[in-house]
Amino acid sequence: MTTLVVMGVSGVGKTVVAAELVARTGCEAADGDDFRSAAGRAPDVDRRPWLHRVADWIGAQEAAGRSTVLTCPPLGRADRDLLRDANPSVRFVHLLAPPAVILERITGRTASSPRPDSGTDARQYLEPDEPGCVVDTTTGSPAAVAELVLYALAQGDR
């Protein structure tokens, strides 16, 4: 049983890569934003209540023996620790792309856009002691990126 937390900025390809991972693994899927309240979507709002709801959901999936793929915005170390400490099945999939690619992908979207440089924020990178992998989404199609993710995870992460 595994919980793949697919994280990254808007426009990096979380939704399409997660869909490919679900198709290849048969896991359940969820969008982390579905656990946010309307007020909780504001940029400066305390994310802890939302993170606790996500952690509780992951725990319920673990208790039921279900593997899942969950999409989330970029998570800092403390946020990742909160999800992982309560749920041993969590593996992080941090998707990256150059800012110019992200900006091109989000052009024309109706949702608010991230800062173009937020996709390269080193403070968000996984650290060596964290389970998961970091994958550049410009390495190929969403299917190819999903294959890279599965390969990296099978090799023991990174």
What's the pLDDT at 40? Answer: 58
CATH number for the domain including 143?
3.40.50.300
Residue 5, phi-psi category: left (phi > 0), alpha (psi -120 to 50), beta (remainder): beta
Residue type, 154: A
User: Looking at the predicted structure, is the pLDDT value of residue 56 above 60?
Assistant: yes
| Distances from the Cα of 55 to the Cα of 36, 83, 99, 127, 158, angstroms | 12, 5, 30, 20, 23
What percentage of the chain has pLDDT greater than the value 70?
Answer: 84
What's the pLDDT at 117? Answer: 41
Tens-digit pLDDT profile for residues 134-149: 999 998 999 999 999 9
Total of domains in the chain: 1
| Across 100-124, average pLDDT | 63
Reduce the DSSP state of residue 28 to 3 states and report it: strand
Query: 4-8, 15-19, 45-49, 60-64: which has the minimum mean pLDDT?
Result: 45-49
- Domain assignment of residue 121, given as a range: 3-154
The packing angle between helices 48-63 and 77-86, to 10°, is: 30
**Residue of 80 and 44 predicted with greater confidence:** 80
**Residue of 92 and 110 predicted with greater confidence:** 92
